[in-house]
Amino acid sequence: MNNKIINVQNLTKTFGEKEVICRCNMTVPQGVIYGFLGANGAGKTTIFKLITGLLNPTYGQINILGLDIGKSHNKILKQLGCMIESPIFYDHLSATENLEIHLKYMGCIDANIEKTLNDVGLVNIGKQPVSKFSLGMRQRLGIARAIIHKPRILILDEPINGLDPMGIREMRELFIRLVQEEHMTILISSHILSEIEYIADIIGVIVNGSIVEEITLLSIKEKFPEGLEEYFFNIMNGGNTYE
């Protein structure tokens, strides 16, 4: 549990003149659900893109499973499942065909497409093209694509956007099951604090491109018995939990 499965040091990203991610350190232990919190525009998606190699850092180190993402990108990619921002599919193809293409790309031969679709609650969808899917169905398919090759690390950027309350509950249960039964480590961002409070073991908070705190949910609850919302607003108002 204390193995660092993701270790980020001094991570900085500038777009033009603008420093969007500033000297961030982040440690994700193996086997946890790490909830990543931050206001809109704080830098959550950018950090996820850097960790998954979709963007190159301006400077800093990113180690995943003990390997440098810049040097071992392909090796690491097979161990990652990601859904970052709204998932994009081949809209004229079915869910099954989209997953087949993904599996071929990942070089994965022993995945169970039907079971995975079932796990994310996409049942009786037959051969209908993804273009006919609702936003919630697309989101479910995005999650299916992120988990189907049984990655060691799952990176989910606002995964419950567009889901109805039932879908939110189903995905929550799925994420917990993936950690307990498939031994995945999950890094998840959400602006819905209650959702993170339900499932996270550790919380990282990013404010204006800087990670200001990493703390266990248990410690938060000791200091803020009212819960995560109280903690988060305290930080956003410039508070520090250790004052």
Ligand X SMILES: Nc1ncnc2c1ncn2[C@@H]1O[C@H](COP(=O)(O)OP(=O)(O)O)[C@@H](O)[C@H]1O
Per-residue binding string, Mg ion, 13-52, x by CB under 5 A, is -------------------------------xx-------
Per-residue binding string, ligand X, 39-58, x by CB under 6 A, is -xxxxxxx------------
- Say how many residues touch ligand X, by CB under 6 A: 10
One residue of 3, 9, 10, 15 binding ligand X per CB under 6 A: 15
Q: Which is nearer to ligand X, 51 or 95 (CB)?
A: 51
Tell the smallest beta-carbon distance from residue 61 to ligand X (Å). 19
Whether residue 185 contacts residue 152, with contact meaning beta carbons closer than 8 Å, is answered with yes
Q: Which is nearer to ligand X, 41 or 70 (CB)?
A: 41
d(CA 55, CA 130): 27
Q: Which is nearer to Mg ion, 20 or 220 (CB)?
A: 20
Q: Which is nearer to Mg ion, 48 or 94 (CB)?
A: 48
CA distances (Å), 218 to each of 27, 125, 181, 184, in order? 17, 41, 22, 21
Whether residue 198 contacts residue 33, with contact meaning beta carbons closer than 8 Å, is answered with no
Q: Which is nearer to ligand X, 15 or 59 (CB)?
A: 15
Tell the smallest beta-carbon distance from residue 47 to ligand X (Å). 7
Helix 165-182 and helix 135-147, axial crossing angle in degrees, nearest 10: 0
How remote is the C-alpha of 76 from its chain's centroid? 15
Tell the smallest beta-carbon distance from residue 20 to ligand X (Å). 4
Strand order in the sheet with 185-189: 80-83, 153-157, 185-189, 33-37, 202-207, 210-216
Comparing CA positions, the residue from 28, 19, 27, 23 lying closest to residue 10 is 23
Interface with ligand X, residue 171, by CB under 6 A:
no
The H-or-E segment that residue 216 falls in is strand 210-216
DSSP 166-199: HHHHHHHHHHHHHHHHH--EEEEE-S-HHHHHHH
Q: Which is nearer to Mg ion, 191 or 221 (CB)?
A: 191
Tell the smallest beta-carbon distance from residue 125 to ligand X (Å). 30
Residue numbers at the binding site for ligand X (CB under 6 A)? 15, 20, 38, 40-46
Report the interface residues with Mg ion, using CB under 5 A.
44-45
